């Protein structure tokens, strides 16, 4: 499932790339919205060059009693 049109109120600038229900909980993969500028997390300046990308797994609040895990594709600027 790849849906760039879904805007998320809790992860601004990201869209859901994959949603998977597993035995250990709900897994949601998030990717940056295409065309969205990468910004420095310290000063918020737009950074035209990326130094890399990496996946980070974040434990979110449970949903209907099931653990929720977010896999977020982050950009290193």
Question: How would you classify the pairing of strands 14-22 and 25-32?
Answer: antiparallel
Which pLDDT belongs to residue 12? 79
pLDDT tens digits, 59-73: 999 988 999 999 999
In a domain, 34, yes or no: yes
Tokens 């890399």 correspond to 52
Q: Tally Cβ neighbours within 10 Å of residue 54.
A: 9
Q: Which domain holds residue 48?
A: 25-76
Q: Which residues of the chain have pLDDT under 50?
A: 1, 3-4
**Residue 41 belongs to a domain:** yes
Residue 57, domain member (yes or no): yes
* Amino acid 68: pLDDT: 95
Asked, for residue 72, whether it belongs to a domain, the answer is yes
User: Is 5 part of any domain?
Assistant: no
- As for how many domains the chain has, the answer is 1
**Residue 19, domain member (yes or no):** no
User: Residue 44 and residue 63: Cα distance in Å, rounded?
Assistant: 32
């Amino acid at each position: 499932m790849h849906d760039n049109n879904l805007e998320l109120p809790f992860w601004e600038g990201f869209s859901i790339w994959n949603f998977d229900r597993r035995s250990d909980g709900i897994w949601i993969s998030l990717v940056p919205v295409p065309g969205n500028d990468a910004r420095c997390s310290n000063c918020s300046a737009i950074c035209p060059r990326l130094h890399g990308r990496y996946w980070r797994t974040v434990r979110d609040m449970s949903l209907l009693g099931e653990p929720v895990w977010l896999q977020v594709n982050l950009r290193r600027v």
